[in-house]
Structure 1
Amino acid sequence: MQRGEWRHRHRRRPLQRHEERGGRRLRARAVGSPAVSARIKAPRYLSLDVLRGLTVALMIVVNTPGDWNHAYAQLLHAAWNGFTLTDWVFPTFLFAVGNALAFVLPGYAAKGRGAVLARIGKRSGLIFLLGFLLYWFPFMSPLSETRIPGVLQRIGLCFGLASLLLYFWGQRGGLWFCVAALLGYWALMTGYGDYTLAGNAGRQLDLWLLGEHHLYRGEGIAFDPEGLLGTLPATVNVIAGYFAGHLLVTRGHGRDTLVRLLAAGSVCIVLALCWNGVFPINKKLWTSSYVLLTVGLDLWLLSLLVWLIEVRGIRRGTYFFEVLGKNTLFIYLLSELAVILLQRLTVGGKDGYSWLYATLFQGWGSPQASSLLFAVAFMLMCWTVGWLMDRRGIYVKV
Structure 2
Amino acid sequence: MKERILSVDIFRGMTIVLMILVNTPGTWSDVYAPLLHAKWHGYTPTDLVFPFFLFIVGTSIVFAYNNRKPSKQVYKKITIRTLKLIGLGVFLGAFTITFPFIKEFSDIRFPGVLQRIGVVFFFAAILFLNLDWKKLIGTAAIMLVGYWLMMRFIPVEGVASTFERAPNNLANYLDVKVFGTHNYKPDYDPEGLLSTIPSIVSALLGIFTGLILVSKQSKKATILFGLGGSFLILGYLWDVIFPINKALWTSSFVLVTAGWANIVLALIYYLTDVKKIKFGSIFRYAGANAIVVYFLSSFISKLFYLIKVDGETSLHGWLFNTIYVQDFFSMQLSSLLYGLSVVAFYCLLAWILWKKKIFIKV
TM-score (norm 2): 0.93
- Alpha-carbon separation, structure 2, partners of 1:267 and 1:250: 20
How many Å apart are 1:341 and its aligned residue? 0.7
Question: Does residue 63 in structure 1 map to residue 23 in structure 2?
Answer: yes
AA at the equivalent of 1:194: T
CA offsets, 1:314-352, max 9 Å, x none?
Answer: 113x21111101000000001101111111111243100
Question: Does residue 374 in structure 1 map to residue 338 in structure 2?
Answer: yes
Q: Which moved more, 1:299-308 or 1:348-357?
A: 348-357
How many Å apart are 1:222 and its aligned residue? 3.1
AA at the equivalent of 2:60: A
- Alpha-carbon separation, structure 2, partners of 1:370 and 1:251: 48
Asked whether the 8 Å contact 1:258–1:307 carries over to 2, the reply is: yes
How many Å apart are 1:207 and its aligned residue? 2.3
How many Å apart are 1:106 and its aligned residue? 2.2
Give the alignment partner of residue 277 of structure 1, picking from 214, 222, 240.
240
Question: Does residue 345 in structure 1 map to residue 307 in structure 2?
Answer: yes
AA at the equivalent of 2:138: W
Provide structure 1 residue ranges, at least 5 long, that are not aligned to the other structure. 4-40
Matching residue of 2:181 = 213
Question: Does residue 72 in structure 1 map to residue 38 in structure 2?
Answer: no
Question: Does residue 304 in structure 1 map to residue 262 in structure 2?
Answer: no
Matching residue of 1:13 = none
Asked whether the 8 Å contact 1:213–1:222 carries over to 2, the reply is: no
Give the alignment partner of residue 104 of structure 2, picking from 142, 147, 167.
142
- Alpha-carbon separation, structure 2, partners of 1:275 and 1:263: 18
How many Å apart are 1:132 and its aligned residue? 0.7
AA at the equivalent of 2:95: F
Give the alignment partner of residue 185 of structure 1, picking from 147, 152, 164.
147
Question: Does residue 248 in structure 1 map to residue 208 in structure 2?
Answer: no
Matching residue of 1:397 = 361
- Alpha-carbon separation, structure 1, partners of 2:204 and 2:150: 21
- Alpha-carbon separation, structure 2, partners of 1:84 and 1:244: 23
Asked whether the 8 Å contact 1:147–1:214 carries over to 2, the reply is: yes
How many Å apart are 1:107 and its aligned residue? 4.2
Greater RCO structure (CA 8 Å; 6+ sep): 2
Q: Which moved more, 1:60-69 or 1:100-109?
A: 100-109
Give the alignment partner of residue 82 of structure 1, picking from 37, 42, 47.
42
Matching residue of 1:115 = 73
Asked whether the 8 Å contact 1:60–1:379 carries over to 2, the reply is: yes
- Alpha-carbon separation, structure 1, partners of 2:313 and 2:343: 22
AA at the equivalent of 2:85: I
Question: Does residue 386 in structure 1 map to residue 355 in structure 2?
Answer: no
Matching residue of 2:119 = 157
2:302 alignment partner, SS class: helix
- Alpha-carbon separation, structure 2, partners of 1:117 and 1:311: 35
AA at the equivalent of 1:162: A
1:318-337 alignment, distance < 5 Å: 318-337=280-299
CA offsets, 1:111-142, max 9 Å, x none?
Answer: x6211221111111211111111111133312
- Alpha-carbon separation, structure 2, partners of 1:149 and 1:173: 29
- Alpha-carbon separation, structure 1, partners of 2:221 and 2:118: 29
Matching residue of 2:158 = none
AA at the equivalent of 1:288: S
- Alpha-carbon separation, structure 1, partners of 2:300 and 2:235: 37
Asked whether the 8 Å contact 1:166–1:173 carries over to 2, the reply is: no
Q: Which moved more, 1:238-247 or 1:289-298?
A: 238-247
Asked whether the 8 Å contact 2:173–2:187 carries over to 1, the reply is: no
2:131 alignment partner, SS class: helix
Provide structure 2 residue ranges, at least 5 long, that are not aligned to the other structure. 155-160
1:223 alignment partner, SS class: coil
How many Å apart are 1:177 and its aligned residue? 1.1
- Alpha-carbon separation, structure 2, partners of 1:97 and 1:215: 25
Question: Does residue 201 in structure 1 map to residue 161 in structure 2?
Answer: no
Asked whether the 8 Å contact 1:244–1:261 carries over to 2, the reply is: yes
CA RMSD of aligned residues (A): 1.3
How many Å apart are 1:82 and its aligned residue? 1.0
Matching residue of 1:99 = 59
- Alpha-carbon separation, structure 2, partners of 1:324 and 1:171: 30
